Structures are given as structure tokens and as C-alpha cells.
Structure 1
Amino acid sequence: MTNSCSKEAIILYKLHFLNKEISSKFEGCTGVSQSRLELLRHLYQVDEMSQKELQKEINIDNAAITRHLKQLEANGMILRRKKPSDNRITLVSLTDYGRQKISFYQEEKKRFVTSMLKDFCEEERELLLDMLNRIQNSIKEI
């Protein structure tokens, strides 16, 4: 970034770059993307749910949920089946292996976040969270 950029443009660039870098490092450290971990976390809380409900819960598009679920199914972490009373609905559940792995992923996530925020005191973390929430609220209003 050059000096000709406004502070606001630099902030936008930094947020974009941090998002990409955090996603990449998170997956490298934990072995799973944040999106897949969120998906697994939702499934962990229920016995089974429809693919459509899961898609709405984690707020991703149809192609992305299908891609994630195919990969997780190939890795033996989830099962998908058609609802007997309505063949158009796909039901999704965690396998026993998926339930075991989610605990591991959660611990890795905790270590990652601790490392990422190690140079921030509690007050700074609260301030950062407040600022991020304000940015998120502003974006919703656009």
C-alpha cells in the first residue's frame, strides 16, 4: 500500500488480507477450515439435520455446503441419507469418528486463537471485539 491510500482503504485492505491469512493459517494449524469446523460444530449439537437447515445455520451457499459435505463424507466424518418420507431432503449426521475429531479440532482452535491473540491483554481483546462488532453492524446496514 502506498501513502496515497486513505486510512480507510488501508483498513479495508488489512481486514481483507488478515481474513485470507487467518483462514490459511487456521487450516494449517488445525487441519480443518473454519467453515468445516463450524459445520461440524452444528452437527455435534444435534443427532441429525437436513442439509438445507445446516446451510441456513452456517450461512453459506448451496454449492459450498455440498462441497464441504462431500469432503467430510469422503473422510468418514459425516453420513448423508435421503429422508424416507421425502426423497428430496438430504439428512446429515456426524459419524462416531466425526464426533471424536471435533474435540481434537476444538482444542486445536483454542491453541490457534491463544497464539493469535497472545500479545493482547484482556482489555485490548474487549476493545477489538467491540470494534469488530461495530464494523459488522455497519456492514449489515449497507
Structure 2
Amino acid sequence: MTRIVSKEEQIINLLNVLGNKISPKFERCTGISSSRFEILHELDQVDEINQSMLQKIINIDSAAITRHLKQLEADLMVTRRKNPEDNRVTFVRLTDHGRKQIEGYKAEKTNYINQILQGFNEDEVYALADFLERMQNNF
């Protein structure tokens, strides 16, 4: 038996399905998780940043930022150093290798976005962004 679903329920169901598909597909297309991409993107905007500030900008917990940065450091994309005046503070910066990598990731992200929004005209993209932002503001 098929249950009748209201348009409102259909919207929420579709958003859930899309949310579950977007992150894994992004990672397959770009070769990096969306969280690590955000970290690299933020680091690309600055020379160096306090790890706690980066964590707040990205909006993830301290254990997650540490885990991501350790892996990015192992991949030679970032370096971390302690503040000589306060050992509790860690500064993070992109390496030259990290800067080159983020450029490639940005191109892959653009391709990914274009693929998802294929068939949408400019007005539809703006309307969709507006609708989703309004929904987000309701939280």
C-alpha cells in the first residue's frame, strides 16, 4: 500500500536523501572529504591561523579538527607549530604542496557543483539558494 505524502514531507524526505548522498559523492569526485576541503579552503585564505579559531570557523569539535589536521600534516599539506609564548596555542598554515592541492580540489568542486545543478538555469539556482537559506534560518 502506498502512503500519500504531503509536499512538505516530500521536501524533507528529499533533503534527507540529498544530504546523505552529497558528502560521499563529493569525496568520490574530489578525493577529499568536505570537512578537509573546508579546512584547506580556510587556510588558503590566510597565512596562518590559530587552530581554535579554525575549529570555530569550520564549526567542528576540537577532537575532529585535531584528527583532520594530523592527517593533513601527514599528507604534507599543512604544518602546525606551538605558540612560543603559550604552548596551549597551536598555529596552522598550508604548505606549498597544500596550496597546489587545494587548487585542484577547487576545480573538482566546481565540476561537482556543475554536475549536481545540471539543467538548472541561473534564476532557478538563485531561487533554490534563497529557499534553502530561508529554511536554514528557521532553525
TM superposition score normalised by structure 1: 0.91
Structure 2 counterpart of 1:93, which letter?
R
Instruction: Report the number of matched residues.
Output: 138
Where in structure 1 do 4 or more consecutive aligned residues deviate above 6 Å?
none
Q: Distance in 2 between matches of 1:7 and 1:125?
A: 20
Deviation for aligned residue 1:6: 4.1
Corresponding residue of 2:31: 31
Q: Counterpart of 1:47 in 2: which secondary structure?
A: coil
Deviation for aligned residue 1:126: 1.2
Q: Counterpart of 1:60 in 2: which secondary structure?
A: coil
Matched, 1:99 2:104: no
Q: Distance in 2 between matches of 1:57 and 1:112?
A: 23
Corresponding residue of 2:123: 123
Q: Counterpart of 1:55 in 2: which secondary structure?
A: helix
How much identity, in percent, do the aligned residues show?
54
Q: Counterpart of 1:90 in 2: which secondary structure?
A: strand
Q: Any stretches of 5+ residues in structure 1 without a counterpart? A: none
Corresponding residue of 2:59: 59
Structure 1 counterpart of 2:14, which letter?
K
Deviation for aligned residue 1:38: 1.1
CA RMSD of aligned residues (A): 1.3
Structure 2 counterpart of 1:31, which letter?
G
TM superposition score normalised by structure 2: 0.93
Deviations 1:88-131 (A, max 9, x none): 01111111100110100000000110111011111111110110
